[in-house]
């Protein structure tokens, strides 16, 4: 496992060869054979799947997440993204601010609230979102032409941004394409501004996006749901 030049203070990190080719292929085959409810973009709420939980709790993954959050990290949500020429989409610049919660409570700075596939969600304040990191395991090489994740380094440190602030930062900060090979990981803070373009090739870009938190108790009376 090779860590690229350390950019953790910039809100992201690229780590190559976390899983070997056989491990990566076996996990992908298991997921493709599983009867998930799939959308055009992939499948959500996969953490309770045995294979997903297993890789999320793998010591190599926990070590990367701990590098951002400290030793006590818990994987809580997993999403499979499946982008190809047949399932193609554009993602505009944004931050990830909605978290799955065990129940709804009226806590200051949380909301608006919603329900997705039976799970309660709320948009969280920056104090909660700084306690989270996502690891994006790539089943395929992430290339310039297959809609890779793009980030604006350092923007995770600016808190939850307005649309006007996002538009201004997109015009000021040069984006970075997060390119890793199959079996590699892109680690990212949820508040870093990120986007992706449509793929321009027949090569797929399949990613297992796993999110970690330093404690399931995310605020007074609020607990993260396993999703």
- With respect to residue 163, please indicate whether it lies within any of the assigned structural domains: yes
Per DSSP, the residues of 60-114 read: HHHHHHHHHH-S--EEEEEEEEEE-SSS---EEEE---EEEESS----TT---EE
Tell me the per-residue pLDDT of 103-125, one tens digit each, with 9 for 90 and over: 999 999 999 999 998 999 999 99
Question: Do 18 and 61 touch, CB atoms closer than 8 A?
Answer: yes
- With respect to residue 226, please indicate whether it lies within any of the assigned structural domains: no
Instruction: Map residue 11 onto helix, strand or coil.
Output: coil
- With respect to residue 102, please indicate whether it lies within any of the assigned structural domains: yes
Domain that holds residue 66: 2-215
- With respect to residue 221, please indicate whether it lies within any of the assigned structural domains: no
pLDDT at 42: 75
Tell me the per-residue pLDDT of 125-170, one tens digit each, with 9 for 90 and over: 999 999 999 999 999 999 888 888 999 999 999 999 999 999 999 9
Tell me the per-residue pLDDT of 35-86, one tens digit each, with 9 for 90 and over: 877 666 678 999 999 999 999 999 999 999 999 999 999 999 999 988 654 5
pLDDT at 5: 36
- With respect to residue 57, please indicate whether it lies within any of the assigned structural domains: yes
- With respect to residue 224, please indicate whether it lies within any of the assigned structural domains: no
Buried b (16+ CB within 10 A) or exposed e, 78-89: bbbbbbbeebbe
As a residue count, the chain comes to 227
Rg (CA), the chain: 17
- For the domain that residue 132 is a member of, what is the CATH number? 2.60.120.620
Residue 141 burial (C-beta neighbours within 10 Å; 0-12, 13-18, 19+) = middle
- With respect to residue 222, please indicate whether it lies within any of the assigned structural domains: no
pLDDT band, residue 7 (cuts 50/70/90): very low
Q: How far does the chain reach from its first CA to its final CA, in angstroms?
A: 28
Question: Do 212 and 63 touch, CB atoms closer than 8 A?
Answer: no
| Element of type H or E holding 153 | none
Domain count, the chain: 1
- With respect to residue 124, please indicate whether it lies within any of the assigned structural domains: yes
pTM: 0.93
Lookup: tokens for 146 = 């297959």
Per DSSP, the residues of 161-221 read: PPHHHHHHHHHHS--EE----TT-EEEE-TTS-EEEPPP-SSS-EEEEEEEEES-SEEETT
Compute the distance between CA of residue 73 and CA of residue 57 in angstroms, rounded to an integer. Answer: 9
């Amino acid at each position: 496992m090779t860590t690229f030049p350390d950019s953790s203070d910039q809100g992201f990190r690229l780590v190559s060869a976390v899983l070997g080719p056989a491990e990566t292929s076996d996990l992908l085959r298991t997921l493709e054979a599983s009867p998930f409810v799939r959308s055009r973009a992939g499948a959500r709420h996969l953490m309770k799947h045995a294979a997903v939980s297993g890789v999320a709790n793998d010591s190599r993954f926990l070590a990367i997440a701990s590098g951002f959050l400290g030793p006590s990290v818990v994987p809580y949500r997993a999403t499979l993204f499946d982008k190809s020429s047949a399932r193609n989409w554009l993602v505009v610049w944004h931050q990830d601010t909605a978290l799955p919660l065990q129940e709804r409570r009226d806590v200051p700075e949380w909301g608006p609230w919603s329900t997705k596939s039976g799970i309660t969600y709320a948009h969280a304040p920056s104090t909660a979102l700084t306690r989270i990191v996502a690891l994006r395991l790539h089943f395929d090489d992430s290339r310039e032409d297959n809609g890779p994740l793009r980030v604006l380094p350092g923007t995770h440190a600016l808190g939850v941004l307005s649309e006007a602030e996002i538009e201004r930062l997109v015009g000021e900060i040069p984006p970075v394409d997060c390119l890793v090979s199959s079996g590699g990981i892109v680690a990212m803070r949820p508040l870093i501004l990120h986007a992706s373009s449509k793929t321009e090739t027949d090569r797929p870009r399949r990613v297992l996006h796993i999110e970690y938190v330093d404690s399931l108790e995310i605020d007074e009376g609020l607990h993260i749901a396993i999703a």
